[in-house]
Amino acid sequence: MKEKQKKRGKVFHAPWEKAFDRILEPFEEFIHRQTTSSLLLMASALLALVWANSSYSESYQHLIHTPMGVTIGTWGLEKSLQHWVNDALMTLFFFLVGLELKREVLVGELSDFRQALLPVVAAVGGMVFPALFYAMVVPDGDMARGWGIPMATDIAFAIGALALLGSRVPKALITFLVALAIIDDLGAVIVIAVAYTEEIVLQALLASAVVLSLLIAMNRAGVRHPLPYFLLGTVLWFALLKSGVHATLAGVLTAFTIPAGSKYDPVLFRKRLKELLNRFDASYQPGDNILVNERLQRVVQNLETGIYRVEPPLQRLEHALHMPVAFVVIPIFALINAGVPMDFSSLGKMVEHPVTLAVIVGLVGGKFLGIAGSCWLALKLGIGQLPHQTRFTHIAGLGLLSGIGFTMSIFIAELAFLHQPNLLLSAKSGILIASLIAGLGGYLWLYLAGNTPHLPEDTPSEGSD
């Protein structure tokens, strides 16, 4: 037994490490589940709702409106906590969205033209129809500014619902939803930039263009370390904040400039790895501590450099940011923004408010008809193809589930009704009600569809009646 341990090598543990591992391993397993981030998001939203409607509601309002600022000499920048979360912290969310979009376009579902067609069609239909439905209910006036609210899908909630269904839905449906939601997010970014920019400050916008040019130049020059991109991205954020364009767009623009290629290709890395492992074996002395073996230290450092150069910066950053965004940024956003004071005794009157009704109709009806209808028409015309083992029934259920518009919809509502708290309250109420209807309805649809046998007529095909 001892001979086997010598051959395998030793694993060293700190005095309390094994005890901590026994505590942390179940926790780590829990946080890596697909549904966990959705459950945390739901818990944050529920906490905000309960808090805002409890006897402690005043403390909730005090929290979100707490002034916070940064002062350097005579220069200062002060905003409420809610504005810091929405304008600064959410930039990380948009940065991750930009990284995911770039990866999908380069090597993912959106890189293959025929595979990308159907999710693109679904996303466009899922943005246009909700906006049209909203405009039909509220055609003009101040309330009409909210037309962009029902256009977005909350990917965390939707994927969490699909993950809960497990094997009852094909895995390809999750991939389809991710592609659809990423295009959806891009559409929301464009809407924010074009429709919800109140006033443009030309000098600041020009400064933003200069900083963006520097970021592109760094990419072209082969700069791979994330720190320079982070520093210039922060400058870009500040310039956009002063320009009037929403500052969170700095996250997407900076993400697009992050290098997506490897410095070493796999063949070169494999060759380099073999050389370093041979040097490692030659440098190793049994019983030596690595701290006193300089040759071994250099080999290990070179191994680390090789791994760093074979992994694209885009992949490394996406992996590093996924958990902080999912487990910190989005839950904080939900906690700060989902606290909607609701009078349940007058719920009927609340739903009758034009903005509330328009958001519900847009998210539930618009998303369902937009996604299902556009996919049905595309398949009829022979445009695109259904994902592997997926039926049109699944796409229709996904269309209903996509009416969960929580995160991005609340974000756009904050922009649309920035100085109109009553309309903002109505919009948020509509988002919460619609997300509940779409979430439960979509889940039940797909749950029942999991038991439905495949029928040829279930999927519309080119030239069918």
Looking at residue 244, its pLDDT comes to 81
The mean of the pLDDT values for the chain is: 84
Name which of 233-237, 302-306, 380-384, 453-457 the model is least confident about: 453-457
**pLDDT tops 80 at residue 464:** no
> What amino acid occupies position 336?
I
Mean pLDDT over 422-428 rounds to: 92
| Alpha carbon 336 to chain centroid, angstroms | 18
The CA-atom distances, in angstroms, between 29 and each of 16, 24, 44, 165 are 20, 9, 21, 19
User: Between these two residues, 3 and 244, which has the higher pLDDT value?
Assistant: 244
pTM comes to: 0.77
Looking at residue 203, its pLDDT comes to 92
Looking at residue 249, its pLDDT comes to 87
Can you tell me the distance from the alpha carbon of 382 to that of 173, in angstroms, rounded to the nearest whole number? 20
pLDDT band at 9 (very low <50, low <70, confident <90, very high): low
Can you tell me the distance from the alpha carbon of 176 to that of 402, in angstroms, rounded to the nearest whole number? 12
Can you tell me the distance from the alpha carbon of 174 to that of 444, in angstroms, rounded to the nearest whole number? 16
| Structure confidence by residue, pLDDT tens digits, 105-133 | 888 777 777 778 899 999 999 999 999 99
Residues contacting residue 352 through CB under 8 Å, at least 6 positions apart = none
pLDDT band at 276 (very low <50, low <70, confident <90, very high): confident
Cβ 363 vs Cβ 405: under 8 Å:
yes
Classify 68 as helix, strand or coil: strand
Can you tell me the distance from the alpha carbon of 439 to that of 400, in angstroms, rounded to the nearest whole number? 8
Structural domains in the chain, sorted by start? 89-196+319-465 (1.20.1530.10), 266-310 (no CATH)
Mean pLDDT over 396-419 rounds to: 90
| Structure confidence by residue, pLDDT tens digits, 72-101 | 877 778 888 988 998 899 899 889 988 988
What sections of 285-366 are H helices per DSSP? Answer: 294-310, 313-324, 330-337, 347-352, 354-360
Can you tell me the distance from the alpha carbon of 384 to that of 116, in angstroms, rounded to the nearest whole number? 8
Cβ 327 vs Cβ 108: under 8 Å:
no
| Structure confidence by residue, pLDDT tens digits, 144-201 | 999 999 998 887 778 777 877 877 888 788 878 888 888 888 888 888 888 887 778 8
Looking at residue 449, its pLDDT comes to 85
Looking at residue 114, its pLDDT comes to 77
Looking at residue 446, its pLDDT comes to 92
pLDDT band at 359 (very low <50, low <70, confident <90, very high): very high
In degrees and rounded to multiples of 5, residue 183 shows phi and psi of -65, -40
